[in-house]
């Protein structure tokens, strides 16, 4: 019985090592091109509403490719966009335009943090830090 447990443990260890080795090879063998990958948002509106709100994406010019499709489970529209090869656009510009298009289609306006709607924030260390964090979060959409 002990021999069976030892053999089973050895086989499981070898199998786990093989899986880890294969995964590592798969992830490092072909690095992804971040600039040309599709970025997708689900907009909770019909395709016609999304097409009418695509001004932030059209402002990027001909350096992007877009496509619309029905979201799974009839949950609106999937809006996908990617940067075309040879374009000088940055991925953050595309992320911002996608987020703004989603906001225009769903809410009818683009939400902004700066300038603050309630007035001027004093130049305190905390205020400067908050301004810097908000500026850095603009491209990725996260704080």
For the stretch 5-21, pLDDT in tens is 666 766 667 766 666 77
Half-sphere exposure of 96 (CA within 13 A, CB side): 13
How many other CB atoms are found less than 10 A from the CB of residue 100?
20
- For the entire predicted model, the pTM comes to 0.65
Q: Residue 76 pLDDT more than 80? A: yes
pLDDT at res. 47: 93
Work out the mean pLDDT of the chain and round it to a whole number.
Answer: 81
Instruction: Report the distance separating Cα 143 and Cα 15, nearest Å.
Output: 40
* Confidence grade of residue 110 (pLDDT, cut at 50, 70, 90): confident
Average pLDDT over residues 74-84: 94
Residue 28 predicted with pLDDT over 60: no
**Contact present, 56 and 79 (Cβ < 8 Å):** no
CATH number for the segment(s) 39-111 = 3.30.70
Instruction: Tell whether the model's pLDDT for residue 27 goes beyond 60.
Output: no
Q: What is the mean pLDDT of the segment spanning 104-108?
A: 94
């Amino acid at each position: 019985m002990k021999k069976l447990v030892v053999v089973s443990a050895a086989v499981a260890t070898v199998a786990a090592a093989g899986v880890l080795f294969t995964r590592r090879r798969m992830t490092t063998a072909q690095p992804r091109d971040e600039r040309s990958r599709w970025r997708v948002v689900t907009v909770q509106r019909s395709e016609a509403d999304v097409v009418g709100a695509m001004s932030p994406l059209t402002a990027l010019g001909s350096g992007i490719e877009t496509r619309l499709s029905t979201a799974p489970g009839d949950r609106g529209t999937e809006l996908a966009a990617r940067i075309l090869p040879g374009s000088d656009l940055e991925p953050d510009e595309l992320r911002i335009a996608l987020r703004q298009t989603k906001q225009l289609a769903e809410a009818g306006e683009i939400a902004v943090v700066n300038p603050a709607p309630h007035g001027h924030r004093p130049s305190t260390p905390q205020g400067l830090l908050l301004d810097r964090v908000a500026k850095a979060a603009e491209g990725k959409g996260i704080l």
